[in-house]
Amino acid sequence: MTKRCLVTIVLILVTAVFAQAADNMKAFPPAGEGMVRYVLQLPEQADESAFRVELIVGKTVRIEKENRYFFTGEIEAQTIAGWGYTRYTVSKLGAMAGTLMAVDPNSPKVDRFVTLGGEPYLIRYNSRLPVVMYVPEGAEVRYRIWSAGAEMKTMER
């Protein structure tokens, strides 16, 4: 009897979690033509204010390993009317630019993930809502979790 009760409670909790995730996705429509929707559901943290999420958009390209490359373009944050949720969009993965170091023409090219240029795009960590990004087909979305250490240091005057 106790085992059956425990299984029932677990099933109810799992169903509630999936129902909540489905409700959160109602605000985010499917991707339009030529676009792809990426969804990230973050795990809960004890102190989420100590974390940030870096969104990284790019594409794997075959290039010379000696040069540094980046794509033009930008991540735009948009508030969804009526919901107050934020979605992130890259409307166009622009031209690829890079350094022009002379390289040995016989050196092999390598596959490398080339990202959007500019500063890292950090957003607040929130496990209660999904992080949703819309990017052009062919682009990829990756992410990194940043965390602050517990130690604070004093600055000199």
Cα–Cα distance for residue pair 157/86, rounded to 1 Å: 39
Bridge partners of residue 76, in order along the sequence: 89
Q: Please check whether residue 123 lies inside any domain of the structure.
A: yes
Q: What pLDDT was estimated at residue 17?
A: 42
Burial tier of 105 (Cβ tally within 10 Å: 0-12, 13-18, 19+): exposed
Assigned domain for 38 exists: yes
Query: Using CA atoms, how far apart are residues 25 and 37, in angstroms rounded to an integer?
Result: 11
Does any domain span residue 47? yes
152 belongs to a structural domain: no
Gap between the Cα atoms of 135 and 10, Å rounded: 37
Name the domain count of the chain. Answer: 1
Residue 52 lies in a domain: yes
Containing structural domain, residue 136: 30-147
Both tokens assigned to 27: 């605000």
Q: Does residue 25 belong to any structural domain of this protein?
A: no
Q: Where are the alpha helices (DSSP H) in 2-146?
A: 2-25
Residue written as token pair 């009317």: 81
Question: DSSP label at 105?
Answer: T
Looking up residue 105, the CATH number of its domain turns out to be 2.60.40.550
The per-residue pLDDT string of the chain (157 residues; one tens digit each, 9 = 90 and over) reads 565 655 555 444 444 344 444 577 899 999 999 999 999 999 999 999 999 999 999 999 999 989 999 999 999 999 999 999 999 999 999 999 999 898 888 999 999 999 999 999 999 999 999 999 999 999 999 999 999 988 999 999 9
The amino acid present at 97, given as its one-letter code, is A
Domain annotation covers residue 109? yes
Structural domain contains residue 117:
yes
